[in-house]
A and B are shown apart, each in its own frame.
Chain A
Amino acid sequence: MRLGLVVDLDTCVGCHGCATACKQWNTSGTIGPLSDKDPYGRNPNGAWLNRIRTYEVDDSPNSKTVHMPMSCMHCDDAACVTVCPTGASYKRSEDGIVLVDQDKCMGCNLCSWACPYGARELDPQEGTMKKCTLCVDRIYDEKLPEDERKPACVMTCPTKSRVFGDFDDPNSEVSKLVRERAGKQLLPELGYNPVNTYLPPRNKPVVEQYQPVSLKDTVKGWVNKVISR
């Protein structure tokens, strides 16, 4: 199995719901807490496993606003695991999930340097590395109803822009989406082979253009309508 997420850049509205749900679930999950420094002060700073950035793509009048949520891509070739000296970072062979063993991490930051996607953040209180767990403590939890065995971010997304599944199974929803919508990897040139895939916005005019019509054409249009009846 190669578990991961598909993120639809066409429909994501940048509401930060997934980031909030992620923080809420994981702060009391297996790698919790996700602490904050100065949370109500002037410069709040804390460990988040999911961040949403907003870009403007292309120039006006063709420009489009794109919201891009990013969490760990659970890369096939995860250099964050290779560089870790303590063995705290590891990739599970059974499903490809990359995790940090909080009891082993010494907080050297090297894995965060090795990650191109900014997926790892040092917990300011605990001094250990935090990253997306793909909600490993939800997706296998047999006490949850079957349709809730999904990551918290996927469950919460109001526009269903995040889809969870097995990329090794060609018939899974994620594999189909990647095929149909020409899913893209980020920074493919670095060779990390990220599992998470992004669906580019659909090709359509972003804003409908107002077409000025002459009086003659308008009258002609009315006449044609009347005659055809």
Chain B
Amino acid sequence: MHPAFSVLVFTVMSGAGYGLITLMVLGHMSGFAPQESGVLIGGGVLALVMITVGLLSSTLHLANPKNAWRSFSRFKTSWLSREAVFAVLFYPFTLIYLLGVWLQGADVGTFVALCGVVSSVLAMVTLFCTSMIYASLKTIRQWNSSLTPVNYIALGLMSGSLLLAAVQAIVAGELAGVQLQMAMGLLVLGAVVKVVYLFWIGKPAGSTINTATGFTQASVRLLDQGHTSNGFLNNEFGYTVEANKLVRLRLLMLALAFVVPFLLLLAASSALTVIAALLVIAGLLVERWLFFAEARHVVRLFHGDQRT
């Protein structure tokens, strides 16, 4: 699949923002993390900015954005529609929660606390809907798996936890041990989930050029795809990366998104925590790029690929 930059930015930024708000509110409500109102406001604003930038960026890949408002209309069937609805519902609850923290400090009343909990639930639901847009496509076997939502949610929470630690470092000037441990735990979880995914897509499976053309008892080769230059299908689905470049990018992704941030967190320094958070975002952009570049749509079979 062609990796559209706007979609990469959208899924990484909004994923991190939703993860951040969820972990922050849960930490606040359960009281296991330090909770200065400054950190809560800082984290909340950062999350809102990242989510909003992500959502705006996602509209950039629409070819006819004047009809974008119609995308709320098929909630019953379409994951994209559900994502849009929940993404919008998320805003009022989060804004009330943040306003409450701003006015009342960290000791919020029941209503504000309730709005906080609803907003963190909506954050996870929205992230789940985003992942289901991809996971529900039977045409792309690398996406059509429960590993896809697991990946999106694990990596969203992981990047959110690093952002939370970074906000704590910047606003409060010192790190909180609980947050660091949580971030390191989620880094390990994220890495495991990603490596499992990479092994899983490596297994040969799925449709072949034989099932695509109906000639299942003989070899089939493409002679001519019928047009002299690339069309929409070639541009959208024909994206191919050389195998050795893929390997290098996978290593880069594992280093940037998981290994190096983990090592930086071990140092338990404020400055290094901020750098680790930035590295995770960069690493996840590579991860998302690979998620698209390694996905092979069945239409490629009609254009001569032997298998997906």
Contacts and interface: CB of A to CB of B under 8 A. Distances in A.
A25 interface: no
Q: Which 7 A-B pairs have the closest CB atoms?
A: A107-B63, A127-B63, A58-B218, A107-B64, A85-B81, A106-B67, A127-B64
A54 B222 contact: yes
Interface in A174-189: 184-189
Contacts of B298: 116, 187, 190
Interface residues of B, number: 56
Interface of B: 1, 61-68, 70-74, 77-81, 84, 133, 136-140, 207, 211-215, 218-233, 235-237, 297-299, 302-303
Contacts of B63: 106-109, 122, 127-128
Chain A's interface: helix, strand, loop or mixed, by majority? loop
Interface stretch (A41-49, A137-145, A164-172, A215-223): A41-49
A59 B65 CA distance: 49
A70 B302 contact: yes
A79 B138 CA distance: 9
A187 B68 CA distance: 32
A59 B220 CA distance: 9
A51 interface: yes
A88 interface: yes
Contacts of B62: 106-108, 127
Contacts of B225: 51, 53
Interface in A68-120: 68, 70, 79, 81-88, 103-110, 112-118
Contact of A113 (B211, B297, B302): B297
A85 B230 CA distance: 28
A200 B298 CA distance: 21
Contact of A190 (B207, B222, B226, B227): B207
Contact of A85 (B80, B214, B215, B229): B80
Contact of B218 (A57, A65, A84): A57
Given A42-B229, A85-B80, A105-B67, 15 more contacts: A19-B226, A46-B231, A51-B226, A53-B222, A54-B226, A68-B213, A68-B302, A79-B138, A81-B77, A84-B78, A87-B70, A116-B298, A118-B233, A186-B213, A192-B138
A42 B219 CA distance: 33
B220 A57 contact: yes
A154 B232 CA distance: 25
Nearest to A48: B231
A57 B84 CA distance: 46
Contacts of B133: 83, 110
Contacts of B212: 186-187
Interface in A196-217: 198, 200
A91 B80 CA distance: 19
A111 to B, nearest CB: 10
Contacts of A115: 139, 299
B65 A109 contact: no
A149 interface: no
Contacts of B220: 55-57
B138 A116 contact: yes
A45 B230 CA distance: 7
Given A83-B79, A122-B63, A198-B214, A104 B138 contact: no
Contacts of B136: 79, 83
Contacts of A116: 138-139, 207, 298-299
